């Protein structure tokens, strides 16, 4: 996930040192993203598994615009705010899989 989400699937340079720096920077950013997501999970009182790391990452774009307009100061409060639930930071609960009924196909009498 970190590779695709944070752009590690594309190498910016061909030098070994540049590749090491890109990998290191990506993992540092991933650690910051997980920590930010954990803080959001604590504010909304949900387990970290219910928080979408991808949507937290994408939500930072919207926070930046709100920050530039003077509408937000704290990214955690912004991402956890009820009025920003449309950002999709909290994952929707999935329905349990339904059991299929095969009895009409096996009743051959």
In a domain, 26, yes or no: yes
In a domain, 73, yes or no: yes
The residue range of the domain holding 71 is 2-92
In a domain, 51, yes or no: yes
Give the pLDDT of residue 109: 58
Domain count, the chain: 1
In a domain, 9, yes or no: yes
Q: pTM (2 decimals)? A: 0.76
Give the pLDDT of residue 3: 65
Give the pLDDT of residue 2: 66
Mean pLDDT of residues grouped by 10 in the chain (109 residues)? Answer: 69 81 87 96 96 95 97 96 94 86 70
Q: Beta-carbon neighbour count of residue 79 at 10 Å?
A: 26
In a domain, 100, yes or no: no
Give the pLDDT of residue 64: 97
In a domain, 67, yes or no: yes
In a domain, 101, yes or no: no
In a domain, 44, yes or no: yes
């Amino acid at each position: 996930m970190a590779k695709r989400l944070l752009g590690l699937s594309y190498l910016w340079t061909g030098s070994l040192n540049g590749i090491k720096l890109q990998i290191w920077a990506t993992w540092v950013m991933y650690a910051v993203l997980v920590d930010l997501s954990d803080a959001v999970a604590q504010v909304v009182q949900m387990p970290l598994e219910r928080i979408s790391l991808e949507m937290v990452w994408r939500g930072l774009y919207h926070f930046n615009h709100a920050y530039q307009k003077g509408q937000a100061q704290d990214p955690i409060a912004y991402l956890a705010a009820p009025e920003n639930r449309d950002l999709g930071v909290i994952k929707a609960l999935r329905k349990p899989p339904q059991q299929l009924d095969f009895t009409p196909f096996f009743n051959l009498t």
